[in-house]
Structure 1
Amino acid sequence: MANRKPRTAYDGWTYMLIQEKKPIRALQIFNNRKSKISGFAYDVIIQKLGSAKMFEELENVLDQMRKEDGLKCKEGLLCSVIKLYGRARKPEAAMELFDKMPQFGYPKPSIRSFNTLFNALLNSKRFDLLQPLYKTMPISPDTCTYNILIKAHCNANRLEDARELFDKMPEPNLVTYGTLINALCENMNVNQAFQLFYDMTKKKGLCPNVYIYTALMGGLCNDGKVDKALKLKMEMEHKGVRPDTVTYTTLINGLFKVGRSEEVGKMLEEMNDNGCVLHVATYNTFITYLCKDGNFEGAFGFLDAMKCIFGKQDIVSCNIIVSGLCREGKIKEAYDLFEDMPRRGCEPTVITYRTMLDGFCGAGRFKEAAMFLESMVSKGFTPRRVSVSEVISGLCKEGKIDWASSVLRNMAKECLVEFSAWDALMPYVCSKTERQKASELLNHIVCIS
């Protein structure tokens, strides 16, 4: 019988704290402790509270730990909390804790702490806070620091600044090259991306990974150069790098874009043979192009297949089909899918409602659009103001002035009316026979203003 690895021994209280799944209950167990609490127990409760986004309680525990005699909070634990703030999009809280690190016994934060804070600000999309901190760093940046800053520049579409930082780096690694190559490809700078690729492989001797190859294939496909992308895939495989689901999805998307949908089946077979599982994004790629080709039977087929594979259908997939049907003027079919979405496990979102409303308007079915609009707003979904104006204008053109006036008044109460909607209605009510209605409307405008 094989020797088992000995289990770490915990006292009963600590074991109970670890096993408790509910953060509130875990906090009660923690607060009821009468004797001294270990640093490990603090770590456990802080992680539980942070994962549950119970930050007020977490901060109270941190403050309690700071005041504990003979117990020093590990830098790694503080970094974990800063990371949790970043994931929760709480950049100010992350910076506040970083500034308090001297109170926990760290007068000079390490490069690890700086990088953790920088990454939290990156996740919070607060580049405006990140850049000034970098410029005033009292210690030298390392490769991780540069990678975070380069990614921040790329996310802000400041590729020249990203390249300037890249050129300052002593030793760029695969993450650095991958980040910059992907950003260049997304911005259609494929030639520059390949130049960087060749510098990486020929001058630096680095072996590209599947992420870098796939980024380059995506750039080629977006440029319509699918054959070159397929050739690059063969080169990648020859060098022992296996394509993944994202690679195949990228190439399938490229084939659809250039009208070579007949080759997709072969790509799917190869994907299956290589053990790559289709992601939801891959299905949505198929559904998008099937809808563009007017093949809604095929699109619904993929939608039904998603139920078998993933256990439910995807709201994005449903929205794509609703949009495609509306674009083709198939409003009844679009509305049937809209009503059937809850049964399919997808509750309509504000995007679904807006798409359906625009579909009614586009088909000139303004009476149904008005009823749908009222229902949409009553359920808490906000339409685009331009769509509200279109509904009112359409009703006016059909001579349904009373109905248009009712819609306008109801939407004005929700602050969902542009002045163009008032402009559309006023000419119809300002005739000699409608002076009373015109006066009422004018009074309403004044009250709303």
Structure 2
Amino acid sequence: MRPDLHATRLALLATTSDARTEMEHSLAAAVSPACAHAFTRTMPDEARRDAAAATAAQPLAGLAFSAKDLFDIAGQPTPAGSVVLAHAPAARADAIAVARLRAAGGALLGRTNMTEFAFSGVGVNPHHGTPANLADPATPRIPGGSSSGAAVSVASGAAFIGLGSDTGGSIRIPAALNGIVGFKSTARLVPAQGALPLSTTLDTVCAMTRSVRDAVTAHQILAARRVTAGAAPLAAYRLAVCRNLFQDGLDPVVARAFERTLGRLAAAGARIEEIDLPPLADLPTINASGGFSPVEAYAWHRLLLERSGAGYDPRVAQRIIKGATMRAHEYIDLIHARRSWIERMEQLLSPFDAMLSPTVPITAPAIADVAPGEERDDEFFRVNALLLRNPSVINMLDGCAISLPCQATDELPVGLMVWHAALHDDAVLAVALQAERAL
């Protein structure tokens, strides 16, 4: 894997490399077979221009980042992985997240492929093809979604930061399956202006990187805030592992990797307790009317579905249309139930600095098993539910979480998720920095 942002920026400061050279490496990776279907549009002229204009003193120093197809880029339509918006009016300005990365010296490499309208954790796209996970050259495996192309752009070495969004795990799922890092911050910390919404309640603008230290840099830029992570050892933190839900039905590879990871962290001094979180059992009842994503997506899509429904991915349209049946009182009840659930969860989490869980319970299945086609719909929705199960808890919690790789060199990628409630971002990042060193 190509060196991370920090190592590359040090090379720029030492003049052992330069932004133009690094950009050519990024552009070559972006059009290589490894990135097939990862980008819906590359921007080589603009990327070279931005790289040349940046300085080594800037946080991103002219290095490449990619932007998920749901972010506004001035002068371009924002298709969000679909074909029904391909000819929509061009955006008048960059999304705030894109603008902040550019202002920090980032060079925008292009728009990355995604699950249509961000409504799936699998990463399959029938319109633009599905980018293959790079972890297994022998078997094309799913990249995870919905930020599928963003993950592959980072894992392939094309981009140092893959800008995306996370509504139920759309940053952490592809990070886990591709063996990279994905940080979902507390949603309110990063403006979503200029990002096409899925669920305005749950959406978080965030990014994937090749290291935790790069995740800190990306978050500081996107949130326009300084992270106070400190350098305390693992022994300084009180950590917990949740016994219920998060460890149910783990794939054997994931189970072994997670158990081994806990052992290595303990050997490095971590104090880890096992606990139960009873409120997790209430989530099916709370979401019985459908949850936030379908109803909020339907509110945005209903007129577009009437005009262009035939052009949607049928699996996406099916999930959005479910939102049409939720009644106003059910939506209001859902808001209140979530608020009460968060309060109960925060009380149970308050004694701990961070929680540890597998990011997802399975490794990446083959694309062929979930590719578009009615005969594979059952398997697609089964896999989608498994991928979303663990990370979506943190979105419901309005919390923050990071996924970092914890697999052995001969295993498919497995993610360790470090998480907590809202505004515990700095503690989560601090623990993740120490965990990364220990692993």
TM class by shorter-chain length?
under 0.3
Higher Rg: 1
Please state which structure has a larger fraction of its residues in strand.
2
